[in-house]
Structure formats: C-alpha cells, structure tokens
Chains A and B, each alone.
Chain A
Amino acid sequence: MRIRFTGAIVALAGAAVITLAVMPIAGQAPQGGRAGGRGAGAPAAPAAPAARGAAAAARPARIAGHPNMNGIWQAMGSAYWNLEDHSASATQFWQLGAIGAIPAGQSVIVDPANGVIPYTPAALKKRDELRAGWPKSDPEAKCYMAGIPRSNYMPYPFQIVQGQKDILFVYEYASSNRIVHMSNHTEAPVDSWMGWSNGKWDGDTLAITVNGFNDSTWFDRSGNHHTEGLTVEERYTMQGDNTLIYEATMTDPKTFTRPWKIRMPLYRRLEPNVQLLEFKCVEFSEELLYGDLKKK
C-alpha cells in the first residue's frame, strides 16, 4: 500500500501538479494567547489559497500582527569587498584578468558621516596586517561562516523564514544560518561564528541584538575585523513590498573608538521559482587549508 502510494506521488510530482491536501481556511478565526499575538488593530488576514507557482499573490501582508518579511533577499553593490569608499583595483590574481579585479564602491557606513570605520590605532594596524595577508587570512576564503552583519551582504541570497515564533535566517553561503530568539531572551553560553541573536519588534521594525561572537569573522574582504566583545544592533524595515532597509550598528570598545553604523537596501529576489541553492564551499577551500599536507 505504501509503495503504491509513493509511486503515485512521484508520478504526480513529475507532472508538476501536486494537490495540497490542507489549504489555509478563509475566515478562520485568529488563535488567541500566542506569543507575539495580535492586538485589536491587526486581525489575522484570511489567507487566500496559494496559487500554484505564484507565491507572491498568497503572501499575507502581516503575520501575527507584524510585517511579513518572508522571502529571499540579496544585497547589491560591493560592500562585501569593502564597506568603505573604494576605487576599482587589482588583486594579485592577474591570471584572472579583469575578472580578478575589485569593483569600485561607495561607503555603506552612514555614521560616522565620513564613512570611515573608527578604529583605534592598534586595531587599524591589525586591519592593515589582515589586509596584507589576504586572501589566506580571510575567513571567506576558508569557507568559514561569515557572522553578522557580513552574511547579510555576501554575494549570495539568503532567506528569512518568519512564522509566529522564532525567526530563522538561512544563508546560501556555506549552508550557514542563525535563529533569532523572539522570546525568552537568554545569554550566549559560548562564543559562536554567527553570534547569538535576540530579537523584538519595534513598531514595524525588526530589531535584533547580536553578541556572543568569536573574534574570527570579518566585516568584508578587506580585513575589517572585531573582537569577541562585538555587539551588533540590527534593524530591518520594509520599504514597499520588495525592499528591506537594513541597518547595523557595531559596538566593540576594544577595536573601535565609538559605535558605527551601516545602512543598505536588501532586495527581494523576484524570480517566480527562486530558491536557495547549495554553496557548500568546504571542498573549494581544502587545497588552501590542507594542500601542504597532501602526499607529495
């Protein structure tokens, strides 16, 4: 019985017609008493049946009373190379020609107003050393998780999975992800690559405090760094249906003379059947990491 059923399902999937057995019921009353529950002014929108291949039409405007930030998002520009103002320049990989060069970019740092990261003198020196050791010094070259905020503006898409409870950010780069605790906030028990995220709603802005970082992630490919004392305050605000305005404020007294803030749009990936694909980059980094120990 089970095998026949499985065979039938495979056939239906192949024909791209899969009947959804359970549809959101129009007019279903909102469930009370849930965490993040609705106030009087925001009843649950009756969900329309999901149209096949037209997910946009089925997207409710709000979930549990808050803006619906679900979707696949990606940054543009070249902040992933360098958060600060930069002209186009070469890397040492002349074999790649223009493909191996770095594009120009305007600073995404909005505070301080000069768009420059406010390093202490010692930390600036360390930045220059890390930059000189690039790419081997760059955790991205090693396929290490990129931490926050860098994961959000890597040149790979990411997905926000938002229900009525904790919110999940899933990044295509290196199969990384992080959970945002939306209730029962606790402290990070140990340091981690992606940090420990405690979030809340500030009106229609998703505000997340991230700390509990280790000291091993960078902010970009240019050696911009921090210690495990880093705290990042993030804010995500919808601007229209297809843009998220992303802000992140970095505080790390052992590295910076004052907090500093970046801001950039994150754009919705609009292709009808867009999905995260796999970028499991460990195997691309193994020659770099272990090549010296291979049998000669």
Chain B
Amino acid sequence: MRSRLFGVVAGAAFAVAAAAVPVMAHHSFAAEFDAKKPVKLRGTVTKMEWINPHSWIHIDVKTPDGKVEQWMVEGGAPNALLRRGWNKNSLLPGTEILVEGFQAKDGAMRANGRDITFPDGKKLFVGSSGTGAPDERPDK
C-alpha cells in the first residue's frame, strides 16, 4: 500500500513536471551532477555565496599530496535559512566543513552538497528548535 502510494505520488509529480508546473526543486540536479560520482570532501570555507536559486559554498580542500583544490559546493536555497535567523555571518571563512554529495557531470571541481556537517557531525544550519526534517539528528 505504501509503495503503491509512493508510485502514484512520484508518477504524478513527474507528470506534473512534464507539464511544466514545477513543484519540486528549481531544476533537475541530474542535468548538472553525476549520481555515479559520489564525493566526500573535507575543506575550509573561503566564501559562502548566499544567492538564489542555490547557495554556493567555496572550500579549499587539501589533497593527500599536500595540494589545495578549490571546490564549490551547491547548497539549498538560502531564504528559508534567513527566515530561521541565519545570516551572512553564520558561516565564516576559515570554518571547516564536511560535504557529502555528487560531483559535476563535466568533471569540474563542483559538487552538489547533499549533506553538509561540521567535523563533530552537527549538521550545518540546524537550529535548536529544528524544523521537523527527518535528517536533523547528527547521527542520521
């Protein structure tokens, strides 16, 4: 019963998308990122672009051989965070973050940030009251 309903919802959602009525994300990430290229990045924030349609977090990632790669990580849309009280000072340069996501299809040093946490596991931009989202516990 549950999976049938899921199928109906998913099918309806895609049918709706095909009719150009977007209820999902701004655009399809499959057109930009490769689900077959998962990445795990640990880096230091150099800049966060609080922009739409998606924020971008720029990080310096140290490779094992001591080089520094400059990655940009696509986050969510920022306005929801602003409504919860976050602002441009909430993620300052020099902060270390961990990113789990998928790399850009064209091979560039860009990734879609599905999970962004601090080294202690706490998720980025989770406040004390939470939002009810299913992934808000640090241990997932």
Contact between chain A and chain B defined by CB under 8 Å: yes
Task: Determine the interface band of chain A, counting residues with CB < 8 A from chain B.
Answer: under 10
CA distance A160 to B7 in the complex (A): 48
CA distance A189 to B88 in the complex (A): 6
> In this complex, what residue of A is CB-closest to B48?
A190
B82 at the binding interface (Cβ < 8 Å) = yes
Secondary structure at the B interface, as helix, strand, loop or mixed, is loop
> In this complex, what residue of B is CB-closest to A212?
B88
CB-based A-B contact count at 8 angstroms: 11
Complex interface: chain A residues within 8 A of B82 (CB):
189-190
Complex interface: chain A residues within 8 A of B50 (CB):
190-191
Give the distance to chain A from B127, nearest Cβ to Cβ, in Å.
14
CA distance A189 to B87 in the complex (A): 5
> In this complex, what residue of A is CB-closest to B87?
A189
CA distance A191 to B50 in the complex (A): 8
Kindly supply a per-residue 1/0 record for chain A positions 184-198, scoring 1 wherever the CB is within 8 Å of any chain B CB and 0 otherwise: 000001110000000
CA distance A262 to B123 in the complex (A): 47
- Which residues in window 63-84 of B have CB below 8 A to A? 78, 82
Complex interface: chain A residues within 8 A of B86 (CB):
189
Complex interface: chain A residues within 8 A of B78 (CB):
190
> In this complex, what residue of A is CB-closest to B90?
A189
CA distance A276 to B82 in the complex (A): 31
- Which residues in window 27-76 of B have CB below 8 A to A? 50
- Which residues in window 102-118 of B have CB below 8 A to A? none
Complex interface: chain B residues within 8 A of A190 (CB):
50, 78, 82, 87-88
Kindly supply a per-residue 1/0 record for chain A positions 159-195, scoring 1 wherever the CB is within 8 Å of any chain B CB and 0 otherwise: 0000000000000000000000000000001110000
CA distance A191 to B82 in the complex (A): 12
CA distance A191 to B78 in the complex (A): 12
Q: List 11 A-B contacts (CB under 8 A).
A: A189-B82, A189-B86, A189-B87, A189-B88, A190-B50, A190-B78, A190-B82, A190-B87, A190-B88, A191-B50, A191-B88
Cβ-closest 7 pairs across A and B: A189-B87, A190-B50, A190-B88, A189-B82, A190-B87, A190-B82, A189-B88
Extra contacts besides A189-B87, A191-B50 (9): CB < 8 Å:
A189-B82, A189-B86, A189-B88, A190-B50, A190-B78, A190-B82, A190-B87, A190-B88, A191-B88
